[in-house]
Amino acid sequence: MALRSFFVGGNWKMNGTRESLEELITTLNTASLHDQTEVVCAPPSIYLDFARCCLDLRIGVAAQNCYKVAKGAFTGEISPAMIKDCGADWVILGHSERRHVFGESDELIGQKVAHALESDLGVIACVGEKLEEREAGTTEEVVYAQTQVIAENVKDWGKVVLAYEPVWAIGTGKTASPEQAQEVHEKLRAWLRANVSDDVADSVRIIYGGSVTAANCRELASQGDVDGFLVGGASLKPEFVDIINARA
């Protein structure tokens, strides 16, 4: 059984100024962080360079999205090559806001995953169902289909973290109960075991996202198949430190 190191990502979304982010970064740099936990922060792309320059090197930096080719006539996009050039090592792909606000398809997300991995970026790949899908009882179907497209585009799973983010829990203040999170994580791991390999199922970190706070993080972190968090709003607050230390 592979020992999976705890992984906590902070998705800053479209938030922050140089001033507010500098304050947040100072808080993180001076905090006592659990040394067995991998921490990655995802600033808006315009602040990637700034964040990488200011953050302590023990904290990784991720972009929140990227395109599927290295360069070209794609106004407004950024590539994995550029992300790496700014010193960042990760990218978040398939976030529900990219899927549902900006209409990104499974196919496009798969292509992005393939290109990011070929470019030697780590990928935080997101899956998750909407409220009507959970209420219709199709959660498994939805997340398996999303995971399938990601899996088809992965050669090296060592560079992939899978994030389960129930869309109904993102930014709504509703959190999946620890039992609900564990149930889906367990099923995703079983899917990886059946469709990829035992090794990948045992070693890939499956993290939870959806209104994670200092108040609920320890109970979520105690679940056997919850290997960390992708944190939204709370990652902009000092309580992010408590979430990073959920297993400490």
pLDDT in tens, 178-189: 999 999 999 999
**Is residue 143 very low, low, confident or very high in pLDDT (cuts 50, 70, 90)?**
very high
Q: What angle do CA 87, 90, 94 make, to 5 degrees?
A: 140
Q: Where are the alpha helices (DSSP H) in 43-138?
A: 48-54, 80-85, 96-100, 106-118, 131-135
Judge whether residue 2 has pLDDT over 70.
no
Considering only the C-alpha atoms of the chain, give the largest distance between any 2 of them, rounded to a whole number of Å.
48
**Is residue 174 very low, low, confident or very high in pLDDT (cuts 50, 70, 90)?**
confident
High-pLDDT (> 70) share of the chain, %: 99
Nearest by Cα to 187 from 224, 144, 221, 220: 144
Q: How far apart are CA 9 and CA 148, in angstroms?
A: 23
Q: How far apart are CA 119 and CA 171, in angstroms?
A: 31
Catalytic residue check, 95 = yes
Average pLDDT on 227-247 reads 97
Going along the chain from its start, the domains and CATH numbers come out as 6-245 (3.20.20.70)
Judge whether residue 10 has pLDDT over 50.
yes
Residue-averaged pLDDT of the chain? 96
pLDDT score for 1: 45
Nearest by Cα to 225 from 71, 2, 9, 47: 2
Task: Please pick, among 95, 115, 129, 185, the residue that the annotation labels catalytic.
Answer: 95
**Is residue 175 very low, low, confident or very high in pLDDT (cuts 50, 70, 90)?**
confident
Judge whether residue 223 has pLDDT over 90.
yes
**Is residue 171 very low, low, confident or very high in pLDDT (cuts 50, 70, 90)?**
confident
pTM: predicted TM-score of the whole model, two decimal places: 0.97
Q: How far apart are CA 100 and CA 197, in angstroms?
A: 30
Q: How far apart are CA 219 and CA 212, in angstroms?
A: 11
Compute the half-sphere exposure of residue 242: CA atoms within 13 Å on the CB side of its CA.
14
Task: Please pick, among 97, 129, 165, 185, the residue that the annotation labels catalytic.
Answer: 165
**Is residue 29 very low, low, confident or very high in pLDDT (cuts 50, 70, 90)?**
very high
